[in-house]
Amino acid sequence: MSRSTQESSWHRADVVMIGGGLVGASLAIALSGSGLSMLMIEGVTPDASQQPSFDDRTTALGNGSRKIFETLGVWSMISPHAAPIRRIHVSDAGRFGFARLDCREHDLEAFGYVVTNRQLGAALQARLSELPDLDLRRPAVCTQIEEVDDGLIVHTDTGAPVLAKLVIGADGAKSLVRASAGLPAEVEDYGQTALIAHVQTSRPADGTAYERFTSRGPFAVLPLVGGHYGVVWTLDPAEAERVLALDEQDFLAALQQQFGWRIGRLLRAGKRQTYPLKLSRAPQIVGPRRVLIGNAAQALHPVAGQGFNLGLRDAATLAEVLSAQSQQSVGDAAVLSQALLAYAEARERDRTGITRFTDGLVKVFSREDPLVPALRDLALLLFDLSPQAKQAMSRLSWGFAKEMPRLARGDRLRTGVSGQP
């Protein structure tokens, strides 16, 4: 069969997104109205139990992310389900080191907002369904990406092949898009498992987030809407399986013993889930007509809650770069390559800075070498006494990039069609 005959049955799109989770959905919303046609391919429906982007894990949205969602017009759907973080208490378990932060000392309404992935996903999906320039192929799995002279042919397990000018990998740490471009990923297994649960306590959440570092890994307790807390308990894999198998009362007793009584008596626990913790980072995030965002570019340890915020800045920056292109320029391989390289350069400092920060936290607080625990506790106490250090930390959610994305500044994107903001 000739290619011309085959092409008659193909779908066409300027941009094909592989992966429709939180980051991919945010990018589609940001790109809508740019003049570029979009197709999103997602393996499972939002309400499927195996959809990891819409489960009961919590996401801590920094103020930079809140601003992006405000600019995109979706924050009003998210905010009723988002609990503000007004205070942060950091401690070294069983030792003297601690630090405290209060948003009022930095003229902030909150350091960030905690929302479940399920509620965040529901808000983004509601907006996706309204986009006139987005086609959804779901459930569908990308099986192959084939290079041709004028683009990429994306094959899926359902539906006709798609001829794309650009393929965006928002398909997670095991990205098929990354593999198809021959882009390597550096992976480090922390040998840790995160156990996730929601708990009800005798002392309702008051806007304080707790980050406690133990020899097994970080332990986070985050305020939720309704006065409950979200717990992220880091354990070694065998211990995580043992704790996961406990009945509710034994689990609550183990959690109470580990965390203490700062949030009162633990009364009830919701469904528990576990996730292995690894660092995955792609040194290169662009390839021939391909680009990576979110966990496909870098998947981080959940300590400090920076992973999604970093991925959302990926999406905001890529949307800014692509919106400045016309359909014709996206189709030009040389022009597209320059645009993607500009995206990669714009993201490098932020990606490197946040990755080193989170990886460093995990490692420095897991070391029990002589003098190291005492030195880090002293560092925590000095941090607690330094307004300048706290001010710098309060701006972490804006990232390390030299310039914030337009969406994070509250500015609409310029488009290659109109050339107007």
What is the CATH number for 343?
A: 3.50.50.60
Q: In this predicted structure, what is the pLDDT of residue 50?
A: 56
Q: In this predicted structure, what is the pLDDT of residue 416?
A: 65
Q: Name the residue among 187, 192, 303 with its Cα closest to residue 241.
A: 192
Query: Could you tell me the pTM of the whole model?
Result: 0.93
Q: Are 278 and 173 in contact, with CB atoms under 8 Å apart?
A: yes
pLDDT tens digits along 148-160: 999 999 999 999 9
Residue at 261 is within a domain: no
pLDDT tens digits along 60-75: 999 999 999 999 999 9
Beta strand 11-18 with 38-41 is parallel
CB atoms within 10 A of CB 351: 25
> Distance between the two ends of the chain, CA-based, in angstroms?
46
Residue at 244 is within a domain: no
What whole-number distance in Å separates Cα of residue 327 and Cα of residue 408?
25
Residue at 339 is within a domain: yes
Q: In this predicted structure, what is the pLDDT of residue 420?
A: 37
DSSP class of residue 43 equals S
Ranges in the chain, pLDDT < 70: 1-8, 47-55, 370-371, 416-421
Q: Are 157 and 59 in contact, with CB atoms under 8 Å apart?
A: no
Identity of the residue numbered 72 = L
What whole-number distance in Å separates Cα of residue 395 and Cα of residue 378?
23
CB atoms within 10 A of CB 203: 12
Distance of CA 375 to the CA centre of its chain: 31
Residue at 268 is within a domain: no
Residue at 263 is within a domain: no
How many domains, in total, are found in the chain? Answer: 1
Residue at 421 is within a domain: no
Residue at 88 is within a domain: no
Domain range for 62: 3-78+113-188+279-363+397-409
Residue at 247 is within a domain: no
Identity of the residue numbered 124 = L
